[in-house]
Chain A
Amino acid sequence: MATLQTRATARIMMSPAVILLFLWMIVPLVMTLYFSFLRYNLLMPGTEEYVGFLNYQYFLTDPAFFTALGNTLLLVGGTLLITVIGGILLAIVLDQPFWGQGIVRLLVIAPFFVMPTVSALVWKNMLMHPVNGLFAWIARSFGFQPVDWFAQVPLFSIILIVAWQWLPFATLILLTALQSLDGEQIEAAEMDGAGPISRFIYLVLPHLARAITVVILIQTIFLLSVFAEILVTTNGGPGLQTTNIAYLIYSQALLQFDVGGASAGGIVAVILANIVAFFLIRLIGKNLER
C-alpha cells in the first residue's frame, strides 16, 4: 500500500516538469511543421494557403541553403578540430604538477563564462581590427602585412572566436577524464620502457576516447546553432560567406517574414540536429545503466 502511495506521489511530483516540457517541445514543433506546408508571409496577411512540399523544395534547392550547410559544417568541423586537439594538449599540460596550477586552470576556463556577444565584439574590434587591432600591430611589428580578418577570412575568424569560447569546455572535460587515469598503469608502462609518445597513443588516448566522444557530440549540438557571434560581427556576410543554417532561417523568418520558408528550414535543422542527438543519447543512456 505504501509503495503504491509513494508511486502515486512520485508521479504527481514529476508531472509538472514532464507536462510543461512536453508542451514546450511538441506545440512549437507541430506549429513549425504545420507552417512549413503553408504559403505564409507576415507581410501579406490573409494569403495563407496549403502548398504541400513547395517550401521544402524552395529551401532545399536554394543555393543559399547549400552555402549555409557548407558553412555550418566548416564552422562545426573547424571548431571541433581546434578545440579537441587543443583541449587534449591543454589537459595534458594542466595534468602535470607545476607552480600555480590552480590559477592557470582558472585562466584557461575563463572564456567559457564570457557571453557570446562580448567575446565576438571584443575579438572583432579590439583584436582583429585590420588597422588598430592588436593582431594587426603584432603582424606589423614583425614586418608582415596585417590580415583584414573579417574581409579576407570571415568564416575562419568566426571559427577562431567560437573555438576560443569552447576550448575551456573541451579542456575541462578531457582534464577530468585524464585525472581518472590510473597512475600506476602509466608508471608500469614507463618501467617497461614505453616513451612518452607510445604511452600517449596506447594508454592516454584510448582512456580519453569516451570523453572525446562526449566533447564532440555535445559541442556539435551547440555549434550547429551558433548565432549571436554571427549576428554581431558579420550579419552573415560578406555575401553569404558566414551564413550558417541557424542564421539563414533567422533571416528568412525575422528579416524577410517568410514564415512558411523559415519553418521548412527549421524542420531541416531539427532533422540535422537529431542525427547527432541520436548518437549522444545512446552514449549517455549506456552510461546510465552502469
Chain B
Amino acid sequence: MARSVTTQRKLIFTIIGWSIGFLIFFPILWTFLTSFKTEGTAVATPPQFLFFDWTLENYHEVQSRSDYGKHVMNSIVISVGSTLLGLVLAIPAAWAMAFSPTKHTKDILMWMLSTKMMPSVGVLVPLYLIFRDWGLLDSRLGLVAVLTMINLPIIVWMLYTYFKEIPGEILEAARMDGASLMKEIIYVLTPMAIPGIASTMLLNIILAWNEAFWTLNLTAANAAPLTAFIASYSSPEGLFWAKLSAASTMAIAPILIMGWFSQKQLVRGLTFGAVK
C-alpha cells in the first residue's frame, strides 16, 4: 500500500517538475527552433512548432556576415583572456591567504568582496575617459583588463574556499621532508588544487562571456564580443527573427553547455561561500 502511494506521489511530481522545467526552458527552446525556420515561418500565425521545413540557411547567413567570426573571436579572447589573467593574479593571492593566514586575511577578503559591490555606472565616466585618452576604447586589451578586475574578487574568493579545503597536514609533512616552497607548490598542492582551479575558471569564463555593461559601453565595431553583436539586432531594421535566433543560439550554446557542467560550483562561486 505504502509503495503505491510513493509511486503515485512520484508520478505527480514528475508531471509538475517537467511542466515547470519545460515552461522555464521554453524561451531557449523556442529560439533554437526558430533558428531553423525561414523568416516567413518565424513570424507565422499560428506559430509553427515542429512541422516546418527545417533550414540551415540562417546559420549560413549569419556566419557569412563577414564580421561574425570576429565577434566570436572577440568573445573567446575576452572571456578566456580575462579569466586566465585573473587566475594568474588570484592563485598566488588565494594561496597565501589560505595557507599563511594573518590577522588581516579576513579583512582583505572582505575588502575584495566590497569592490565587487561598486556599481559599474559609478565609474563609467572616468573609465570611459581613461580608455579614450589611452586609446583603449574598442580594443580587446582594454576589455580584458576591465573584465579581469571585475571578476578578480570572485576568482580570489572561489579559489580561497577551495584551497581552504586542502588539509594543512599534507603541507607540514612536505615541509618536514625538506621541500622548498616552490617544490611544495608544484608537487604537493597543485595536483590537489586543480579541480578547484578548473571550476573557478569555468564559472568565470561564463560570467565574462555574458558580461553586458562594459562590453556594450566600451566597444564599437572592432572589439565587440557577441553580447554587443546580438545587441545590434535590436535596431528596427534588424528584426529578422530567424537570423536573430540563429545568432543567439550560436552565442549561448557553448556557454550553456559549460554552465550545465559547472552547476555544482555555481552556488559556491556566486554566494562567496555563504551557501555551500
Contact = CB atoms under 8 A, between A and B. Distances in A.
B216 A267 contact: no
A254 B217 CA distance: 9
Interface residues of B, number: 98
B235 to A, nearest CB: 10
Nearest to A30: B126
Given A98-B10, A173-B275, A273-B118, A112 B96 contact: no
Contacts of A64: none
A100 B263 contact: no
Interface in A17-37: 17-18, 20-21, 24-25, 27-29, 31-32, 35
A277 B256 contact: no
A43 interface: no
B213 A17 contact: no
Interface stretch (A46-54, A122-130, A151-159, A184-192): A122-130
B124 A253 contact: yes
A197 interface: no
Interface string A158-174: 00000010011100110
A126 B241 contact: yes
B102 interface: yes
B239 interface: yes
A111 B27 contact: yes
B251 interface: yes
Interface in A91-129: 93-94, 96-101, 103-119, 121-123, 125-127
A7 B100 contact: yes
A115 B93 contact: no
A259 interface: yes
Given A14-B93, A25-B115, A116-B212, 16 more contacts: A10-B97, A14-B108, A20-B89, A28-B130, A109-B263, A113-B256, A113-B258, A115-B209, A115-B230, A115-B255, A122-B248, A126-B244, A168-B24, A214-B271, A285-B106, A287-B274
13 contacts: A9-B100, A13-B93, A24-B149, A29-B122, A31-B129, A109-B263, A116-B227, A218-B271, A231-B231, A232-B230, A254-B124, A273-B122, A284-B274
Interface of A: 6-7, 9-11, 13-14, 16-18, 20-21, 24-25, 27-29, 31-32, 35, 90, 93-94, 96-101, 103-119, 121-123, 125-127, 131-132, 134, 137, 141, 164, 167-169, 172-173, 176-177, 210-211, 214, 218, 221, 224-225, 227-228, 231-233, 245-246, 249-250, 253-254, 259, 262-263, 265-267, 269-270, 272-274, 276-277, 280-281, 283-285, 287-289
